[in-house]
Amino acid sequence: MLDVLIVGSGPAGLSAAIYAKRANLSVEIAEKIFMGTGQVAESGRVDNYLGMPGISGYELGEAFRGHAEAFEIPFREAEVSGFERTENGWRALLADGESMEAKAVIYAAGAKHRHLGAKGEEELAGRGVSYCAVCDGAFYRGKIAAVAGGGDTALDDALYLSELCEKVYLIHRRSEFRGAAATLRKLEERPNVEIITGVVIEEIIGENKVSGIRLSDGRTLEVSGMFVAVGMQPETECVRDIVALDAAGYIKADETGKTSEDGFYAAGDVRTKQLRQVITAVSDGANAAISAAEYLRKL
Ligand code: NAP
């Protein structure tokens, strides 16, 4: 039986593995995607990871993975479909019918950005379609960008981009916004922000990179960046009956990674937190591993 089973091979899982290994624990990572590195691989360029200005998301993910491999951390390609408590810890049930057992679990399966479902979105992801304004906004300095969504993320993204871009379209499918009225007011006052409501983005246009968007009212807008901010979906389906989740489906856990269940830790985008970034995921992994090590010492 393992000391710690880590679910997820993104920055949080890989960092947790390195800290757990250095704490002399036996550890294995279950990863859904073979040789995966999580969402970071989707970022074209990462300019806000300390010490690595301008690195591509793919390269940063590979560097993290290479670090874990240098520590001889074992990986297993496995999709976890549920968990059971055992006398000595936890059993992870795998989609292929097998299982893995460990005294403690660090669950770092991440969260997915919800996609718009517009034509061209998947093909142009990373080529003008972005799911993170904080990560990619700087690449659109002086250019025209659009933001889709009506929640706080979309409003904050539009405000952030309005400081950088020549013009920002904020496009929402309804006329009422979920996001804070105060932010909406600020956007309304910005001369370079145009708010368009009651329309759907039907198509993102571009050959190799985004050049425009087609709206449901028949208009076509020229844009170089399309920021999709229509919510996140945490990967918590398989822990729904195991640990406490918040209303949006994130695992309730603080910086220590401790969840409602002893010996079950959450790290990275999957937990309740304010800022979901690579740097905070890496830090979560370290914290969760140290929490798990303390827990196992007391057992
Ligand atoms: P959210 O509140 O769930 O909003 C998602 C938005 O995307 C909604 O306006 C929704 O439209 C729209 N949407 C969903 N699917 C769509 C689709 N297929 N096509 C077009 N539009 C679509 O998500 P969020 O903005 O990421 O915020 C998540 C949570 O974090 C919220 O609780 C938010 O308050 C919080 N947050 C807070 C802050 C802050 O306090 N500064 C910043 C960011 C996030 P409808 O409105 O029509 O459903």
* pLDDT tens digits, 132-150: 898 899 999 999 999 999 9
Whether pLDDT at 292 is above 80:
yes
Whether pLDDT at 43 is above 70:
no
Distance CA 104, CA 234 (A): 21
Q: Is the CB of 32 under 6 A from ligand 1?
A: no
What's this model's pTM, rounded to 2 decimal places? 0.75
Q: Could you tell me if 170 and 200 are in contact, meaning their C-beta atoms sit under 8 angstroms apart?
A: no
Closest atom of ligand 1 to 176 CA is 46
Amino acid at 92: A
Distance CA 259, CA 252 (A): 6
CA of residue 171 to ligand 1 center, whole Å: 12
Q: Is the CB of 114 under 6 A from ligand 1?
A: yes
Catalytic machinery residues: 132, 135-136
Q: Could you tell me if 269 and 234 are in contact, meaning their C-beta atoms sit under 8 angstroms apart?
A: yes
**For the chain, how are helix, strand and coil distributed in percent, rounded to 5?**
30, 30, 45
pLDDT greater at residue 43 or residue 124: 124
CA of residue 250 to ligand 1 center, whole Å: 15
CA of residue 84 to ligand 1 center, whole Å: 33
Q: Is the CB of 16 under 6 A from ligand 1?
A: no
Count CB neighbours of 66 within 10 A: 12
Distance CA 34, CA 279 (A): 23
CA of residue 91 to ligand 1 center, whole Å: 35
Count CB neighbours of 116 within 10 A: 23
* pLDDT tens digits, 144-189: 999 999 998 899 999 999 999 999 999 999 999 999 999 999 999 9
pLDDT greater at residue 289 or residue 47: 289
* pLDDT tens digits, 265-283: 999 999 999 998 899 999 9
Ligand 1, atom 14: nearest CA belongs to which residue?
A: 230
Q: Which two tokens stand for residue 70?
A: 């240098």
Residues in the chain: 299
Distance CA 80, CA 7 (A): 8
Q: Which two tokens stand for residue 6?
A: 């880590």
